[in-house]
Amino acid sequence: AQRVTQPEKLLSVFKGAPVELKCNYSYSGSPELFWYVQYSRQRLQLLLRHISRESIKGFTADLNKGETSFHLKKPFAQEEDSAMYYCAPKGGTASKLTFGTGTRLQVTL
């Protein structure tokens, strides 16, 4: 069965502290992996995708196929990073985009 796990519902960090949002997946085939972000009162938007290997807003994510993980990291959290973050694999015969349960990141002063 296809499954995405984000173990933390809420992650609270101080400004300037490192951030790691965990994501583990169980998926048939080789899905593409994405992170989407939803800022307060805004629409869901793409943060980054593993295929592009780029850093967006200081965030990076490394795909570990052995551990089937795609953790999102940022060395120094900023207040504006406070949002809901969703890990999302996409794959299968219909290229279904599935979302994890989401992690709310709260960055405090």
Q: Compare residues 17 and 45 and give the one whose CB is closer to another protein.
A: 45
The pair of three-digit structure tokens given for residue 108, joined into one six-digit string: 């405090």
In Å, how far from its chain's centre is CA 34? 7
Instruction: By CB under 8 A, tell whether 17 contacts another protein.
Output: no
Name the 3-class secondary structure at 50.
Answer: helix
Name the 3-class secondary structure at 58.
Answer: coil
Report CA dihedral (60, 64, 68, 73) to the nearest 10 degrees: -20
Q: Compare residues 71 and 89 and give the one whose CB is closer to another protein.
A: 89
Build a one-symbol-per-residue string for 36-75: x at contacts with another protein by CB under 8 A, - elsewhere: ------xxxxx--x-x------------------------
Query: Where on the chain is the footprint of another protein (CB under 8 A)?
Result: 31-32, 34, 42-46, 49, 51, 84, 86, 90-91, 94-99, 101-102, 104
